[in-house]
Copies of this chain bind each other. A is one copy, B any other.
């Protein structure tokens, strides 16, 4: 493991000159540059970035906190982040929080201890106040999840409009009894419920709170949601699920009950997860511009680090209704 000292000695120059070559400084003659570079190649020298990072007090590393890497939704979001980061000589690190506040705090220590230059949250486990406290002192961006009162840059879609659009799609198909399977823990769920209620009201349909059931963010949550809804005296003829995974569980359970989708019950999901077109039937859903969300989040983060731009801006990205077979008109 050669050090910069050894390179300098072997090249017959000072460490400063080696450093200049390493950092592509203009102020070095091409002759010495070649000489130094030759030694670097010969020794297969790799600069120790711990030294550099300490000296510069920056790491050019951005940490992305995911609740669970298995959530394929974030795959393309992260890709967008990476592409922007790499364009600016930054790197992306990913860590799992498992929705565990303790674990989240462990990773936040990376930020506080200067091991990373910024953190992009997807779904903070900590409460709003703690989050704001953190955002005040460190570069922090919230990606794709929004709670009112957040004082940090936020990238999100208009969840209320998206919820409205989803419900409206079902209404236009002629449905009058429309259920909803939501998740309390998801910050955007309230906005989506709001949009759903708005669409119903606007169409002259009454909002039945019993039609809105809260479940876990999972396949099984979808199954249980259907069980709840179909225990009602008048079950819905259409169901808006807050995620495609939940929609899958819902459809599975409907089939188990001998009901067919979309003929007996229409189902719409959310996110345009990769499973949505694959499932049988393929699932109507709201697509989020995942890659662009990731790009934007990283752009905002890099601005945040440089201290430019509005530090509390909410960036709203466009969503899109994608109609597939789980909501085809029944006639």
Contacts and interface: CB of A to CB of B under 8 A. Distances in A.
Contacts of A98: 79
A278 B49 CA distance: 46
Contact of A50 (B47, B54, B86, B112): B54
B46 A112 contact: yes
Interface residues of A, number: 48
A75 B69 CA distance: 6
B91 A94 contact: no
A120 interface: no
Interface string A40-57: 000000111111011001
Interface string A82-108: 100010000111111010000000110
A68 interface: yes
A270 to B, nearest CB: 17
A82 B53 contact: no
B50 A115 contact: yes
18 contacts: A48-B114, A49-B110, A66-B69, A69-B69, A69-B74, A70-B72, A70-B74, A78-B96, A86-B106, A91-B106, A91-B110, A219-B274, A248-B278, A251-B280, A252-B278, A255-B280, A275-B275, A280-B280
